[in-house]
Amino acid sequence: MAPKVLVADKLSRLALDIFARRGIDAQVKTDLSRDELIEIIPDYDGLAVRSATKVTEKVVAAADRLKVIGRAGIGVDNVDLKAATAGGIVVMNTPYGNSITTAEHAIALMLALARQVPLADLTTRAGKWAKSQLIGVEITGKCLGIIGCGNIGAIVADRARGLKMKVVAFDPYLSPERATDLGVEKVELDALLRRADFITLHTPLTDKTRKIINADAIRTMRDGVRIINCARGGLIDEKALFDALQVGKVAGAAIDVYEVEPATDNILFASNNVICTPHLGASTREAQENVAMQIAEQISDFLLDGAITNALNFPSISAEERPKLMPFLKLAEQLGSFAGQTIETGLKSVRIEYAGAVADLNTKALTAAALSGVLTPFLEQANMISAPSLAKERGIMVEEVTRGQEGAYETYIRLRVGTEFDGRSVAGTVFSDGKPRIVQVGNIDMEAELGPHMLYTENADKPGYIGALGTALGAAQVNIATFSLGRSAPGEKAIALLEVDGPIPDGVLDTIKTLPHVTRAHRLCF
């Protein structure tokens, strides 16, 4: 019997042709209510959606046969990823199908902003010949600052260089070699803000990038800067941008994405020097067809051959190797996450060493899991499938090393990250109970199991530090679950890794950073 796929949102006819050609029974039923979807979903092996259909926990619970959910596009906010994963359902998206379209929209907005095209159109239609009031600026020779130089940012850089602009880029994961290949100058954020005539954002929305353009950042910018955002709402503090527009610090802005969408009412709408579009970055015929055809191919590949592409929740692992591999997958991801949450400068390289029995397992999947852990704190689209390509795209050197048993542990994984100014390593193993554990940080031995909420500190090995740390946490009502310590030598460098019962508030972390002898403190989540 042919696999059955429910196409719950409108897809290109070309996508439906792909299903038919591959022998998939694709049935188009759009505009379903939640109850209607719950009623019919048990009959299907696959589900293809865009953004309209909401795949909730109740939908997943009713999906007895469902094996794969394919999202034609990037965002999967409409899919309960946790429920799908728990139900053994692979969730796929198409992260690169609209890259060119989004990049072109950013360039279009930049040009329109430079010459005040929307306002010129509006005033001319109103019978006002406002030629003398609509003086624009050339972009030739101007400096374009790109915040986030991944796939879309790289396309914008290429187009901007063709327009004879000078391009500088800020991206912690952009290597100097990749920057050279793109013909851009890699700079720190402050330098970009000071130098750029135009600033365009192409970075995911994470805790580290939320409101990356705020009042302080705007004060650093040169007077008369122009800002474009086709990436994510929330990257810009909209109130701070509005205030800067009113006083002329920012000459103009072009905004396609908003903190709250649909944006039917927004503070920026009141400013004449803002171009507003309704999240049109991916809205071209070509992009819509690309993502639809890609998801049709991916769903077909999975249902017919078991191949997984652009999955958000599963790596490529065979049924035979899964039981043995799963504990090490968790370990690899935790090691990567530990490193990713504690590095403070741009990432250049990742080296993963597999020693002992783990070296004979599927190290490709393990490396993907480790890279996912490293990149996830900065890149929302990073997962076990996408992480290797994201690293390659940013010029991050990835190296795998396998060897026989060495040292005290029968088998272990060591992850080393190299940054622009330093590096760090962390090693771990899986004990007989099947639980991953950290066994070394740098050259300091330590045995610790990682919990959901952790605190990691580096400090000088001096009397009184443990008491001061415990007092600071106790005063803030932060309960310690486990406390692991290590040191390189008496009186020298020491480390502490604590599991706590809940997230550590910002103020508490700031207090810990000011304790005597502390050189570094990080809040970690696993």
Q: Cite the active site residues.
A: 232, 261, 279
Class of residue 523 by CB neighbours under 10 A (exposed 0-12, middle 13-18, buried 19+): middle
Give just the sign of the alpha carbon dihedral 454, 455, 461, 466: negative
Considering only CA atoms, give the Rg of the chain. Answer: 25
Tell me, what DSSP letter sits at residue 131?
A: G
Q: Annotate 291-330 with three-state secondary structure.
A: HHHHHHHHHHHHHHHCCCCCECCCCCCCCCCHHHHHHHHH
DSSP of 358-422: GGGS-HHHHHHHHHHHHHTTT-TT--TTTHHHHHHHTT-EEEEEEE---TTSSSEEEEEEEESS-
CA 216 vs. chain centroid, Å, equals 24
Q: What is the DSSP letter of 89?
A: -
Going by the DSSP 8-state scheme, the letter that residue 78 receives in this structure is T
Q: In this structure, what token pair is assigned to residue 90?
A: 């692979």
Instruction: Look at the alpha carbons of 259, 260, 262, 264 in this order and tell me if their dihedral is positive or negative.
Output: negative
Two tokens, residue 400? 């795998």
Question: In terms of DSSP bridges, do strands 444-448 and 480-487 run parallel, antiparallel, or are they unpaired?
Answer: unpaired
Q: Please tell me the distance from the alpha carbon of residue 6 to that of residue 486, in angstroms, as a whole number.
A: 55
Q: For residues 382 and 173, what is the distance between their CA atoms, to the nearest angstrom?
A: 13
What does the block give as tokens for 258?
């908003």
The tokens 């474009």 sit on which residue?
Answer: 228
Show the beta-strand stretches assigned E in 370-442: 397-403, 412-419, 423-430, 436-441
Give me the DSSP letters along 482-496. EEEEEESSTTSEEEE
Query: Is residue 143 within 8 Å of residue 199, measured between CB atoms?
Result: no
How many whole angstroms separate alpha carbon 25 and alpha carbon 6? 9
| Two tokens, residue 259 | 């903190």
The residue type at 118:
P
User: Is 136 in contact with 189 (CB distance < 8 Å)?
Assistant: no
Sheet holding 250-255, edge to edge: 185-186, 166-170, 143-147, 198-201, 225-229, 250-255, 274-276
Q: 48 is written with which tokens?
A: 């293809």
3-state DSSP: the chain helix, strand, coil percent, rounded to 5? 35, 25, 40
Q: What is the DSSP letter of 505?
A: P
- Report in angstroms the alpha-carbon separations of 129 from 53, 119, 135, 273, 337: 47, 12, 13, 18, 59
| Residue 308, phi then psi, degrees to nearest 5 | -115, 125
